[in-house]
Amino acid sequence: MSSFVYYTSNKQRQRGSNLNTTLLIYRRLCTMLATNNDKEVALTRNEQQVYIELMKKRVTTTKEIDKITNNYETSRTVLSRLVRKGYAIRAHRGYYSAVPPELIGTNYEVDRYILAYKVGRTKGILSHHTALELHGVAQSYFNTVFISRKTPLRTFDFQGVEYRFLRQSWSFGVVSILRDSVKVELTDRERTILDCIRNPDYCGGLEELIKSISAFHQIDVSVLETYLKKYGERSLTIKTGYLLSMMKEELRIPDGLLEKLKAQKKDKVYYLTPQAMNGEGQMVKEWNLIVPKNMEEVMRFA
């Protein structure tokens, strides 16, 4: 069996958390050697260095690997070899993911959220139903990941997951979380709620939307009101006011906020969902809003 040799030099020695991460990866590889006699670890010096970088960042671009090898052709060659040996996966054009040592030879699935954020990270954030999932309130998990950015990219599929990019120019309401030590950004609770109300089809429909919003239990109404002003869409204000009035007790919505939102309805008629525009809705005069005819049933089972 070939042994795994950890190459380093005085110039390349790392300190602090970077060194700890590198040593952890090295120990995991050594553990695999000791416990998996049917698997052989045989990596060149360049392959080891690139693999460790892949493991630290989970999903890495070829441009980032170029900084390690200092050579475009070497980077492509090393990445191709790692893929052939089962240490890496080509997740998207120009993006590679490491396969953890203990999972080499299995049907390893790349973390969809890390991949989505890395591909769309130029002012791109995870949003809509994907944000509901990461906030822990989604009632189901989609095989579609939504990424909002100023300039949308082409949708792509990988490992049975669709990565869909939506055009949005707003930059407020963003929070960061860590997934497997990797930072990803997503819309915060209040913006997620408003994004889903604006486009219920991107969050699984009205019933999924209501159940998910209810699962927040409490929201910051002052932040929500501020965001509504930033959107500047009266229809969104009316739809939000109506839905909040239906979940007033669960979310502890003050009457004062509902009255302020209701005062903006004017004389125009609004529609809660696109389906309500097809003659399949009923009018809620209090909000000048047409909602689905089965709205009471939806709320009852939400």
| pLDDT recorded at residue 13 | 38
- The CATH class for the domain spanning 16-103 reads mainly alpha
Look up the CATH architecture of domain 112-301.
Answer: 2-Layer Sandwich (3.30)
| pLDDT recorded at residue 38 | 47
- Alpha-carbon gap, residue 158 to 179, rounded angstroms: 19
- Looking at the chain, the domain(s) classified CATH 3.30.460 span 112-301
| pLDDT recorded at residue 110 | 97
> Burial, 136: exposed, middle or buried (Cβ in 10 Å; 0-12, 13-18, 19+)?
exposed
| pLDDT recorded at residue 264 | 92
- Looking at the chain, the domain(s) classified CATH 1.10.10.10 span 16-103
Residue with tokens 């591909």: 119
| pLDDT recorded at residue 293 | 85
List the pLDDT tens digit at each of the 302 positions of the chain.
333 333 333 334 334 444 455 555 555 555 444 444 445 557 888 899 999 999 999 999 999 999 989 888 999 999 999 999 999 999 999 999 999 988 999 999 999 999 999 998 767 899 999 999 999 999 999 999 999 998 889 999 999 999 999 998 888 999 999 998 899 999 999 999 999 999 999 999 999 999 999 999 889 999 999 999 999 999 999 999 999 999 998 899 999 999 999 999 888 899 998 877 777 789 999 999 999 888 888 787 66
- Selection from 191, 295, 201, 282 nearest residue 243 by Cα: 295
